[in-house]
Amino acid sequence: MKTLPRKPDSSNTDVNLFNRLIYILPLGVLLLASCMRFLLSIDYSGISAQKVAERNLSNEKYAARLEADGWPAGQLNTAADHHYLDDEEKNLVLAHNLVRYDPGKFARQYVTEYITYFEGKEFHYPGRDLIMLTEEGDEPAIELYWELLNTDPVGIFFPSQGLHEAAISHADYLVRNKTRGHGGQGGLVARIERAGNWEQQIGENIAYGSFSPHDALMYMLINDNVDDRTHRQNILNPGFRFIGVAMDYHPLFPNGEIYVINYAFYFRENQSGIRRPHQDRRRIRPIHVWD
């Protein structure tokens, strides 16, 4: 009698396949992550992000380092001659214009390096003992890299003194009240309308405890643990054309500066609402941790 081969048990086959996948999938994920990090690393070119993110750079030095990195800094440094701005405030306008002018170049030259600063959920900034604990680890930074590679350039920002004054007003409020957030003084619309008239749309970002303007921009672009990456959306919004920046020192964030940034499609200053001279609001960097 001829013996026929037994028909395979499909249920056993499915179980075996599932067991194999349990072991194979994690290895595949690790391999993919390693390949991604390798691709990110070889895509980098230019000056170290630490050099352009160095603290206390004058606007002239920051622009010079960017120029050496291949950026048309003279064209992008739209705040250079706005003497009511501090160097840090001018530099943050310039940093905004980098990523808007060439998102892909910004991703390759700067975001790649920031990705390497993550160890799990800890962000280790080179040369500093301070470790920042994040909620998402390097995931939003990697997400930012790929998003910028697929983002078209948008128009660069031009400074508005009225938006700057509205930002000053809110920065002063946050410092005096030792608080944070976008509320206070009637809200964003009221603060901006006291300084002038806006059209179509306005927005606001706030960066806390940043080491430099360049670092503040990176912090907002990565946008850890923020739904819909709204800070990133504001920075890359093609509907915004004017910007106002204010920097101050906050008692809750003694290791760095805070920046309030206001955006608008169009803004016309109310001259009676603009405070002069600018030297009246010069801040003194704290030399100790405030109580």
Tens digits of per-residue pLDDT, 13-68? 555 555 554 555 554 544 454 445 444 444 445 566 777 888 899 999 999 999 99
> Is the Cβ–Cβ distance between 283 and 249 less than 8 Å?
yes
Query: If we measure between CA atoms, which residue out of 188, 214, 166 comes closest to residue 50?
Result: 214
Q: What is the pLDDT of residues 58-96, one digit of tens each?
A: 999 999 999 999 999 999 999 999 999 999 999 999 999
Give the span between the Cα atoms of 125 and 225, in whole angstroms.
19
Region 161-181: mean pLDDT is: 92
- DSSP secondary structure of 55-100: TT--HHHHHHHHHHTT--HHHH-TTTT-TTS-HHHHHHHHHHHHHH
Whether 211 has a pLDDT exceeding 60, the answer reads yes
pLDDT tens column, 94-107: 999 999 999 999 99
Residue with tokens 């016309």: 268
pLDDT at 3 over 50: no
Q: Residue 80: count other Cβ atoms within 10 Å of its Cβ.
A: 17
Pairing relationship of beta strands 257-269 and 196-210 according to DSSP bridges: antiparallel
Enter the tokens of residue 204: 């606001």
Neighbours of 126 (CB within 10 A): 11
Its pTM stands at 0.80
**Percent of the chain with pLDDT strictly greater than 70:** 77
